[in-house]
Amino acid sequence: MERGYISHQAQAEVPADTSSHLLSPFQMGPLFKLSHRVVLAPMTRCRAINSIPQPCHVNFYSQRTTKGGLLITEANAVSPQAIGFPHSPGIFSEEQVKAWKDVVDAVHAKGGIIFCQLWHVGRASHTVYQPNGEAPVSSTGKAISEEWSVLMPGGSKAAFSPPRALSTSEISGVVEEFGKAARNAMRAGFDGVEIHAAHGYLIDQFLKDGINDRVDEYGGSLEKRCRFVMEVVERVVREIGAERTAIRISPIIDHMGTTDSDPLSLASHLIGLLNSYALAYLHVTEPRFTKEGLRDEGAAEGESSTAAMWKMVKDEYGGRVMRSGGYKRESAMKAVSSGSADLISFGRLFISNPDLPLRFAIEAKLTKYDRSTFYTQDQVVGYTDYPFYVREDLEE
């Protein structure tokens, strides 16, 4: 038999591995029986055209689908005002819904489960991305420090534009945009949505007291700073149900200057509120996701704040937990087997290894990723051209 790649159309099932919790089945709420705990993380990849997914998106997500595996899409803007990245998709127009349906159908045809991440970047934008060249909106009028930069449509970098603080009366309209986006995701056939409340984007800008300087009912105390996110959660849950709703948070991460004076208290308060809902999962990012990169890929919990956060999450959150932040096979195994996580999402390793769960299962060598192609607009290179596992034992 001629040697070659295992086709993603006829990819072998992930072998059962009773010794590995990472590769064991998991019941994610009442609706979703997962065959393993290896999740495709949401990753902005800049391959959309006019904010509309393309055929390459169908191929990318289909390649990374396993039967019973969970995928989370790249972040989708909930409105034109929510955009802050070049060539990133949305879920607010009919064209976008139709294009995402093609992706969802391809994933479902292979037995996969796919959630759509909902996104509003807030002040993490530039006037070039905003309707009529207006200022981006935020919880604040304070701009992101110039030590951070925004990626422009042509690939260059620039300073973020100064934002405009949303008026109190405008906030309900943004909440409604999340609700409509969740409805559109269901129309496209998605199994659920993940609310992006992390990494310095709009919801995080309301949560962190280093950013939120409001004096109305959305600023000041923990209760007031958490009001916006909980209104979004309530609106999405009302639209599609808690069992199809998830949320991503990053309480101890200061990405794009989103700092808080007491991040663990913020996380504890927020988790207490989220416990009122039987969400599909809580997705928490660890502080490798920073400008400096506080820890290497797959490193053990290093900072005391990280260890304290995970102890708090384990002790206080009553639902299902997903962790992310530079994990490799061994560190993911440890996190799941210790009981501190139910699921682990992988980003860069899943970019360059479309059959990552299979490679983890058989402990195959991983393909290295090419960082220079992460945010290009090429519809193939660095996106769908990474190889599948080659069986060395196939006969010539």
User: Residues with catalytic annotation?
Assistant: 201
Helices marked H in the chain — which ranges? 55-63, 94-109, 168-187, 202-207, 222-225, 227-240, 263-274, 304-316, 329-337, 348-352, 356-362
- DSSP strand pairing (150-151 vs 157-158): antiparallel
Query: For the chain, first and last CA: distance in Å?
Result: 5
Q: Are 396 and 13 in contact (CB under 8 A)?
A: no
- DSSP strand pairing (32-34 vs 26-28): antiparallel
Provide CB contacts within 8 A for 10, sequence distance 6+.
Answer: none
Rounded-to-integer distance, Cα 394 and Cα 182, Å:
46
CA 99, 100, 103, 106 dihedral sign is: negative
Rg (CA), the chain: 20
Q: Are 164 and 133 in contact (CB under 8 A)?
A: no
DSSP state of 380: S
- DSSP strand pairing (38-40 vs 343-346): parallel
Provide CB contacts within 8 A for 212, sequence distance 6+.
Answer: 139, 140, 205, 206, 218, 219, 225
Q: What share of the chain is helix, strand, coil (3-state, %, to 5)?
A: 35, 15, 50
